[in-house]
């Protein structure tokens, strides 16, 4: 059956959502998808005080088992035809975009519209657009990323950056961002989080997470805080292995839990699980994605979260080591997950869940709980009122002067001056050599800011840029000889741990063009550095930062 309610109900529901401020106004674009609130929804005589999503439980009760199971899945797709087949055959609840699915803003908007048109229930069209080192969308306004935002110490900037990104994604029909990262990066050797984290101190990280969640959702797209119960203290990448974290319950509540509680309190539409084992939280040895103790016990019951829980990608090694690909989806649902992201084989996973419900391994009540949460999320984001993006207007909404100004504010506010011996900075009046990653771009930016850039042999001072060089930073500083050296860490600030031989040290947390430009303005003295270390580095604690 195709979902098509009476138009009178659609108008009443749209008015109710708009009045309640639930996100309908964020959404459809001109000529949006016609209202698709399911048949059996309340009539136009419904009391105005009735909640806009009050129709959902009744509709879920009338859905077929196949339709319900489909809502749990968010697969990848190789082409528009492949996506449409998955929508029609498996009734999927959403799809995730990767760079191969994204071209121009106009084409992406048109593709989003075509996918929504193929589905009888609006789709969650998601993307991993964290900004910084995890960015899938080639045309959005570029931001430095979370650790740079953490260095600004300003949650309002986290909100503004997320709102810019969310607005641009919604312009091309994407309505879910798998962001922000809510992990507290307390392990400098963490291979998978690092710069994706706002920092190492749970209190400021919590404030930034809350700001980002508010910004994405103010733009009309769902936010997904990740990776619960916290991926910040691991030296193993869960894409390639199964990390084990030794945090005790008390340590988890002190370090890892606060940002997720902040996301819950901020009304996050979604929280993503981590494929990690925390033995002191759950002795079973199961990854958190498959742990009822973690997802239902801690996230649902202790933190009080009532939104959608999504797994991280089920393609990742961390969730596939202990159980087979058909058993993992069933265990994830019974643990408390609502959506299953990127199953290795959609047909196999779909059949496994369908059979598990038919045989009672997953109760129908448990299935209905997940489907109800998913539809309520779609209702909150206004998807039942309209999903269409306007291809003709998509490009104009992206990279505006106002959006670029926000990115510049973030980049400049992030630059952290960690050491400045003998007042070597700012560089005005000195001849400067630049070497290392992005040296050509930085040299050009310094020239634009009035700095004389010259060859190393004739320079008064050398600026050495590094990008995740680690211990090699020390030998690179030493190789530059006796003249003063300024080290600028364009990636992880932990490079500065090995920069003792340099007279000055800074961190930008990003090698993006906007960050390189901000670094040049700080080095030249055009901008006073105001950033503060969000993680310990260079022997200094989190919160340290100098100015001119």
Plot region of 510 (φ>0 → left; ψ -120 to 50 → alpha; else → beta): beta
Average pLDDT value for residue range 161-187? 98
3-state secondary structure of 351: helix
Indicate the pLDDT class of residue 51, thresholds 50, 70 and 90. Answer: confident
Q: What angle do CA 231, 233, 238 make, to 5 degrees?
A: 45
DSSP code, position 52? T
- Local confidence band at 407 (pLDDT 50, 70, 90 cut-offs): very high
Average pLDDT over residues 408-413: 98
Residue 435, classed as helix, strand or coil, is strand
**Neighbour tally for 293: CB within 10 Å:** 17
d(CA 131, CA 144): 7
Neighbours of 401 (CB within 10 A): 6
199-223 per-residue burial string, b: 16 or more CB within 10 A, e: under 16 = bbbbebbbbbbbbbbbbbbbbbbbb
Six token digits for residue 66: 């196949």
Q: What is the mean pLDDT of residues 270-294?
A: 96
With tokens 């299935």, the residue in question is: 367
Distance CA 431, CA 311 (A): 53
> Quick one: which H or E segment has residue 520?
helix 513-524
Strand ranges across the sheet with 124-127: 94-97, 124-127, 176-177, 222-228, 270-273, 308-310
The Cα-based distances of 186 to 183, 215, 494 in angstroms read: 9, 25, 12
Mean pLDDT of the chain: 91
Whole-number pLDDT of residue 315: 95
The whole-number average pLDDT for the span 25-29 is 33
Contact indicator for 491, 467 with CB cutoff of 8 Å = yes
Q: Is 10's pLDDT higher than 70?
A: no
Active site residue 59: no
Instruction: For residue 247, indicate whether it is catalytic.
Output: no
Residue carrying the six token digits 């979902």: 3
User: Is the pLDDT confidence value at 29 over 60?
Assistant: no
Torsion, Cα 332 337 338 344, to 10 degrees, reads -40
239, 325, 368, 460: the active-site residue: 239
Phi, then psi, of 292 in degrees rounded to 5:
-65, -35
The confidence score (pLDDT) of residue 243 equals 86
Sorted by sequence, the CB contacts under 8 Å of residue 144 that are 6+ apart come out as 131, 132, 407, 410, 411, 414, 508, 509, 510, 512, 514, 515
Q: What pLDDT digit, counting tens, does each position of 189-224 carry?
A: 998 999 999 999 999 999 999 999 999 999 999 999
Q: How far apart (Å, rounded) are the C-alpha atoms in residues 290 and 309?
A: 12
Please name which of 544, 513, 514 lies closest in space to residue 529, comparing C-alpha atoms: 544
Residue 105 has pLDDT above 60, yes or no: yes
Q: How many CB atoms lie within 10 A of CB 281?
A: 21
User: pLDDT of 329-363, one tens digit each?
Assistant: 999 999 999 999 999 999 999 999 999 999 999 99
pLDDT number for residue 238: 80
Coil, strand or helix: which one is 434?
Answer: strand
The structure tokens listed for 76 are: 């990848």
Q: CB of 329 within 8 A of CB of 340?
A: yes
Cα angle 533, 508, 229 (rounded to 5 degrees) comes to 55
Main-chain phi, psi angles of 286, to 5 degrees: -75, 145
d(CA 406, CA 410) in angstroms, rounded, equals 6
Treating both helix axes as pointing N-terminal to C-terminal, what angle do 364-380 and 327-335 enclose, rounded to 10 degrees? 70
Best mean pLDDT range from 5-9, 106-110, 478-482: 106-110
SS3 308: strand
| Structure tokens that stand for 385 in this block | 């009122």
| pLDDT for 26 beyond 60 | no
Give pLDDT, residue 235.
81
Q: Is the pLDDT score of 392 beyond 50?
A: yes
The 10s digit of each residue's pLDDT in 483-533 is 999 999 999 999 999 999 999 999 999 999 999 999 999 999 999 999 999
Which of 183, 269, 282, 312 does the annotation list as catalytic? 312
Whole-number pLDDT of residue 49: 55
Of 183, 314, 301, the closest CA to residue 239 belongs to 314
The pair of three-digit structure tokens given for residue 211, joined into one six-digit string: 């700001």
**pLDDT at res. 462:** 98
The mean pLDDT of 104-132, rounded to a whole number, is 97
Residue 37: band (very low, low, confident or very high) from pLDDT cuts 50, 70, 90: very low
Domains of the chain from N-terminus onward: 55-402 (3.20.20.300), 415-524 (3.40.50.1700)
With a cut of 60, say whether residue 434 has pLDDT above it. Answer: yes
Question: pLDDT tens digits for 64-97?
Answer: 999 999 999 999 999 999 999 999 999 999 999 9
Mean pLDDT of 293-300: 98
pLDDT for the residue 6: 30
């Amino acid at each position: 059956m195709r979902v098509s309610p009476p138009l009178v109900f659609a108008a009443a529901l749209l008015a109710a959502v708009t009045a309640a401020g639930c996100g309908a106004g964020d959404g459809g674009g001109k000529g949006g998808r016609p209202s698709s609130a399911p048949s059996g929804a309340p009539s136009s005589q419904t009391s105005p005080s009735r909640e806009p999503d009050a129709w959902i439980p009744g509709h879920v009760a009338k859905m077929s088992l196949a339709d319900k199971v489909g809502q749990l899945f968010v697969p990848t797709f190789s082409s528009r035809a492949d996506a449409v087949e998955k929508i029609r055959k498996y009734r999927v609840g959403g799809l995730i975009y990767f760079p191969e699915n994204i071209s121009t803003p106009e084409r992406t908007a048109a593709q989003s519209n075509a996918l929504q048109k193929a589905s009888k229930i609006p789709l969650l069209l998601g993307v991993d657009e964290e900004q910084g080192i995890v960015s899938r969308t080639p045309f959005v306004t570029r931001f430095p990323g979370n650790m740079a935002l953490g260095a600004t110490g300003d949650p309002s900037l986290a909100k503004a950056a997320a709102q810019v990104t969310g607005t641009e994604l919604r312009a091309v029909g994407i309505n879910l961002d798998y962001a922000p990262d809510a992990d507290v990066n307390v392990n400098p050797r963490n291979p998978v989080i690092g710069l994706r984290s706002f920092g190492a101190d749970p209190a400021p990280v919590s404030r930034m997470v809350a700001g980002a969640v508010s910004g994405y959702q103010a733009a009309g797209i769902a936010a997904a805080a990740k990776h619960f119960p916290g991926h910040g203290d691991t030296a193993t990448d869960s894409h390639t292995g199964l990390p084990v974290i030794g945090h005790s319950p008390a340590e988890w509540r002190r370090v890892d839990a606060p940002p997720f509680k902040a996301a819950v309190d901020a009304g996050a539409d979604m929280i993503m699980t981590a494929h990690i084992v925390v033995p002191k939280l759950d002795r079973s040895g199961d990854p958190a994605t498959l742990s009822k103790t973690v997802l239902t016990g801690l996230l649902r019951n202790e933190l009080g979260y009532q939104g959608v829980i999504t797994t991280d990608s089920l393609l990742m090694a961390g969730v596939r080591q202990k159980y087979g690909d058909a058993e993992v989806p069933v265990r994830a649902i019974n643990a408390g997950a609502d959506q299953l992201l990127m199953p290795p084989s959609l047909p196999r996973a779909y059949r496994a869940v369908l059979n598990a419900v038919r045989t009672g391994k997953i109760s129908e009540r448990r299935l209905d709980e997940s489907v109800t949460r998913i539809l309520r999320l779609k209702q909150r984001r206004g998807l039942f009122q309209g999903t269409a993006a306007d291809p003709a207007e998509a490009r104009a909404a992206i990279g505006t002067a106002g959006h670029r100004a926000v990115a510049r504010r973030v980049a400049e506010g992030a630059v952290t001056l960690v050491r400045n011996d003998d007042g070597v900075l700012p560089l005005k009046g000195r001849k400067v050599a630049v070497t290392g990653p992005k040296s050509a771009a930085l040299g050009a930016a310094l020239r634009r800011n009035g700095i004389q850039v010259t060859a190393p042999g004739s320079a008064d001072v050398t600026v050495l840029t590094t990008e995740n060089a680690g211990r090699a930073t020390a030998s690179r500083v030493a190789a530059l000889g006796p003249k003063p050296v300024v080290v600028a860490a364009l990636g992880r600030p932990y490079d500065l741990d090995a920069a003792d031989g340099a007279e000055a040290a800074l961190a930008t947390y990003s090698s993006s063009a906007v960050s390189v430009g901000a670094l040049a303005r700080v080095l030249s003295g055009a901008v006073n550095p105001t950033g503060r270390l969000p993680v310990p580095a260079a022997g200094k604690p989190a919160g340290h930062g100098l100015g001119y």
